[in-house]
Structures are given as C-alpha cells and as structure tokens.
Structure 1
Amino acid sequence: MKKLFFAALISVFALTVKAQEKPHIYNPDADAKAEIKAAVKQASANHKNVLLQIGGNWCVWCIRFNNLVTTDPDLNKYLTDNYVVLHVNYSQENKNEAVLADLGYPQRFGFPVFIVLDGKGNRLHTQNSGYLEEGQGHSKEKVMGFLKDWSPAAIDPKSYEKTK
C-alpha cells in the first residue's frame, strides 16, 4: 500500500511540475537578424509575407496569442497560407536591441508586438497587440482581420485594378 501511495504521489508531483513549465516559443540564443533574413527569403520564394511576433517566454499574452493562432484551425490555416512566422525574443537574456532599432522600436507598444514584412524585407506594418485583445485573450475576429489586412493579396495592386 505504501508503494502505491508513493507512486501516486510521485505521479502527481511530476504532473504538477509539467503543468508549471512554460512553453518555449522564443529562443533567447537565436540570431534574430539571421533568422529574419532567412524568413524573408522563404517568404519571397513562397509569395508570402513575414509575421514577426516579438515577445518572450515570460509574456503570458505572447503565449496566449501563439496558442490561439496555432490551435484555431481557421487562423492557423490563414497564417500558414499567407505568412512565414518568426518569434523574435525580447527578454533579460537577449533584448535584440539592434534588431528592434532597425524595426523602428516596436517594443514601445508592449508585448507581444507584431511586425509585417514583405518578401523583400520591407516593414509594412507594426501592430500593437492591445487592439487585438478581448477579455483574457485575443479576439479571433480581430486577429483574422489583422492578418487579412496585411496579407500579400491585400497589398497587391492587382487586387485593386478595375475590370472592364
């Protein structure tokens, strides 16, 4: 009986520790400049834009956003079809200050903050995530609107040519 009790206790402890682990979607050791360059190259080859999600593993709103767009089938499909997504770290270990300076200091909006780049690496838009929030998370409708507004088709001049 003691063995069963201790086995159950160890299992509960292991599950508690596992539940407290934070997801690691940001890598403080990554070379953000090189990763952005690679993402732009990939986006260009696939006729997509780049979505930089800037934040850190410490940021609950960053994790909530990532969970929404990766678990909601509609958002995930739209994001995958139109963007190359890259998580750019901002933390005590690595603030990526030079990269953020090149991007126009987006951290002024808080975290997460989103940058949309075109397939040439040009910054198209900086999005304050506060405008996408609703309650204790992000609004699916607002996020989808943001993604659609800055998709390759939305900014393609051919989308606006008059038909005769």
Structure 2
Amino acid sequence: MKKIILVAFFFIGLSVSQAQELKWYTDVKEAIKVSNKEKKPLMLFFTGSDWCGWCIRLQNEVLKTPEFNKWAKESVVLVELDYPRRTAQSDEIKKQNNELQQAFGIQGFPTVYFANANVSKDGKVNFEGLGSTGYVAGGPTAWLAVADPFVKKPALSPEPTKAKKSKKA
C-alpha cells in the first residue's frame, strides 16, 4: 500500500512540474537583465490579447503547447507587449509598449521579434535584432521551424588551414 501511495505522489509531482507556466515578462528592463544573465535572446510578443483574432489563435495553437513550453524554457526569455482594448494597463506599461512598437516599427499583430539587448549606463536600451515572425499555420512544429533559426547561434567552425607545401631542393 505504501508503494502505491509513493508511486502516486511521484507521478503527481512529475505532472505538476511539467505543467508549470512559462514566465512572461511585461517589464522589458527586467527581462533584459534575465536575458543577459541566462545568455538567451528576448522573444518580444507584440499582441492585442483581448481583440486580435490572429494573436489569440497564435496563443492557442502554439504558445500554450507543451512543445513551445519546452523550446521557450531552453531558448528564450519571453516578453509580452500587449495592446489591449478592454484590459486596463498602467501608464508606465502603456508608455513602454508604445515606445517599443515605434522602435521596432510594428504595424500589425501578432508580431514576434527576437533580439538581444542591453541597457547602457545612461539607461538607454540597445537592441540587436535577430529576426521576426508572426502567425504561422501548422501548429507548434511549423512555428518553431521558423522561430528556431533566429535564436540558435551558428556553431563556430575553425578556419580551414592550408597545408604548407615543402620545397625539395
């Protein structure tokens, strides 16, 4: 009987640990600190969470799947930049999101932008763009096939060496 209870607790614990929600940052400067510490790029998700049909579809078909969850934990720091119509936001978040929308030239939703970033000593944020995408039909496999190359650093291959020819006298 004790073994059955222990096995049951083990599987419950395993399922709870796998079901952990991803951490989505809304404060870009906080996300940048985490990004630099973990040496992972930012995934900036520009969304209209309560009105944009394609944003909601991307959420349901990709961003809430176990495949995306696993990939995101290993690959990126998640940032949600929301432009809701019915959900209240602080003035600070609205200002930050509007500035980033202009800085990245975002004209439609959803847009997902991948970038490395740092904050200079004078408080300015500097971004290095890695690429962008939006909704991709085909579920998480298709979406990740588009997104993954933006965050994977190419392996450095050694410079080819030329063999020296020896001269015989």
Superposition TM-score tier, normalisation by shorter sequence: 0.5 to 0.7
Instruction: State the match for 1:162 in structure 2.
Output: 158
What's the offset of the Cα at 1:89?
1.4
Of 125, 129, 141, the residue aligned with 2:134 is 129
What stretches of structure 1 of length at least 5 have no aligned partner?
Answer: 1-29
Bigger fraction of residues in helix: 1
What's the offset of the Cα at 1:147?
2.7
Instruction: State the match for 2:91 in structure 1.
Output: none
Instruction: State the match for 1:115 in structure 2.
Output: 113
What stretches of structure 2 of length at least 5 have no aligned partner?
Answer: 1-24, 89-93, 119-125, 161-169
Instruction: State the match for 1:60 in structure 2.
Output: 53
Instruction: State the match for 1:101 in structure 2.
Output: 102
State the distance in 2 between where 1:70 and 1:113 align.
Answer: 13
Identity, % of aligned positions: 21
Aligned AA for 2:35? A
State the distance in 2 between where 1:38 and 1:72 align.
Answer: 25
What's the offset of the Cα at 1:119?
4.7
Aligned structure 1 segments of 4 or more residues deviating by more than 6 angstroms: none
Aligned AA for 1:59? C
What root-mean-square deviation, in Å, do the aligned CA atoms of Structure 1 and Structure 2 show?
A: 2.7
Instruction: State the match for 1:6 in structure 2.
Output: none
123 and 90 in structure 1: CA distance in 2 versus 1, 3 angstrom threshold:
farther
State the distance in 2 between where 1:48 and 1:41 align.
Answer: 10
Aligned AA for 1:101? Q
Number of aligned positions between the proteins: 120
State the distance in 2 between where 1:97 and 1:71 align.
Answer: 25
Deviations, residues 129-159 of structure 1 (Å, cap 9, x unaligned):
14x2x2xxx53232111231112xx235xx1
- SS state of the match for residue 55, structure 2? helix
What's the offset of the Cα at 1:41?
1.0
Please tell me whether residue 42 in structure 1 is matched to residue 34 in structure 2.
Answer: yes
User: TM-score, normalised on structure 2?
Assistant: 0.59
Aligned AA for 2:115? L
User: TM-score, normalised on structure 1?
Assistant: 0.61
Q: How does 1:144-155 map to 2 (within 5 A)?
A: 144-151=144-151, 154-155=152-153
Of 69, 77, 85, the residue aligned with 2:78 is 85
